[in-house]
Structures are given as structure tokens and as C-alpha cells.
Amino acid sequence: MNKLKSFFIGILLCAITFATVFLTVLIYRANKQISIETYIFQMDNSPFQRLGPLENMATMRPEALRNKLIQKYIAEYFKVIPGENNPGQENNVQKLSSKDVYSGWLNGEAEIIKDMAQQKMFRNVWVDPINIKPTDEPNLLEVHYATRTWQESNNMTAPVVDDFGTVLLQITFEPGFKESVNIKSVRDLLKNGGNPAKLFKFRVENIQKI
């Protein structure tokens, strides 16, 4: 009788061992097949907020690259961050401007930005590429932009002011990176949160509000 019990207990232990090994293999294979899906939240589920595919600069039209740089420059030139003395903004305008343009910005628009920031205002800036228009003069462009200003930050009921402006922008531009740019400089700039526009052969020689 004892031998019979031992026989059945042995079979039961073998079955438990087999089941344990089988489950371990299933868990291991499941872990091997796990994939992580990434999602980006977008405001109001708007298609206009979606990130587009990465663009290859080698196949990008020069005008498209130029317009992206102009969009970035105008945003840096006019944006307002509430309560901040933003050295990054000043550095961006300086790096993308001639000495005269940078000096004019410091003594003009930068003072307005500083005053608005101290009053806790927030201003966003947009430039539509179709509103970047050539003029009769080479390298002189007519750029139409829009701003939206919140009179108070962190207050959804605060009045919002929409405004529109136009500047004449004289630029020097060539497709491609500056000669000094290399893989290390690109990596360091992006790692430190720098403005990628600084890497390109782009500079504003003159700007005039009209």
C-alpha cells in the first residue's frame, strides 16, 4: 500500500514539475515578445497638433528650410515668457542676427518683452509659410506674423489679445550647415536644449516693421 502511495505521489510531483517548467517557458517567451507602444497626447485631438514625419534636409527644398528658419527667428524675436529673464531667447536672437539687428532688438523689442514678462504676460508667435513673400529686392522678404497675448498667466479667464504684424526681413541664407558644425557640436547643442537654427547658414541682416 505504501509503495502505491509513493508511486502516485511521484507521478504528482512529476506533473507539478512539468507544469512549473511549462509555465516558466511561456512567461519567458511572453517577455521576449513584449513591445512598447509610444503615444503623443495632442490638444483637442486636433490633426494640426500632430507631429509630422522626420524630414531629410538633403531632400528638403531650400525655400522650405529657409521658411522654417524664418519661422523660428520671428518666434524668438517676439515671444514673451511670463516672469522670466530668458537668456536663451537673447542668445538665439544674437546668434541669428547681425550686430546691428541684435543691438536694435536689445534696445527696442527686448525692452517691451521684459516689461510684459514682469507683468506676467505670455505671448505666442506664429508665421505661416505662405505669408513669407519675396520682394523686388534680392534676399528681402515680406513676413506676416500673428501673435496671441495672454494678459495674465495661469488664468484661463484672462483677456486674450490677437494681433498681426508685418516685417521686412533681409537675410543671408545658404542651404546646409555652417562649416564649423560636426557631429559632436550637434549632439552637444541638442543635449543642452539649444536652438538647432544656430547650426545653419542663416542670418538676419536687417529687420523693419511696416
pLDDT tens for 184-210 read 777 877 777 778 888 889 999 999 998
Which residue from 126, 114, 109 is spatially nearest to 82, judged by alpha carbons?
Answer: 114
- What percentage of the chain carries pLDDT values higher than 90? 44
Which of these ranges, 47-51, 129-133, 150-154, has the smallest mean pLDDT?
47-51
- Distance, in Å, from the CA atom of 163 to the CA atom of 74, rounded to the nearest integer, reads 14
- 133-160 average pLDDT score: 89
pLDDT of 14 higher than 50: yes
For the chain, the domains span 62-209
Using the Cα atoms of residue 166, residue 205, residue 190 and residue 68 in order, give the sign of their dihedral: positive
Q: How confident is the model at residue 4 (pLDDT cuts 50, 70, 90)?
A: low
Number of Cβ within a 10 Å radius of residue 142: 14
Which residue from 107, 104, 109, 116 is spatially nearest to 80, judged by alpha carbons?
Answer: 116
pLDDT the model gives residue 7: 57
- Distance, in Å, from the CA atom of 169 to the CA atom of 73, rounded to the nearest integer, reads 10
Neighbour-count burial of 169, counting CB atoms closer than 10 A to its CB (0-12 exposed, 13-18 middle, 19+ buried): buried
pLDDT tens by residue, 44-64? 455 555 555 666 666 788 899
Q: Are 145 and 131 in contact (CB under 8 A)?
A: yes
Write the CATH number of the domain with boundaries 62-209. 3.10.450.230
Query: Residues 6 or more apart from 88 whose CB is under 8 A from it?
Result: 193, 195
Top pLDDT among 23 and 160 is at 160
Q: What are the two backbone dihedrals, phi and then psi, of residue 30, each rounded to the nearest 5 degrees?
A: -65, -40
Q: Are 95 and 195 in contact (CB under 8 A)?
A: yes
Query: Residues 6 or more apart from 197 whose CB is under 8 A from it?
Result: 69, 72, 73, 92, 96
Q: Fill in the amino acid letter for 158.
A: A
Q: What is the pTM of this model?
A: 0.72
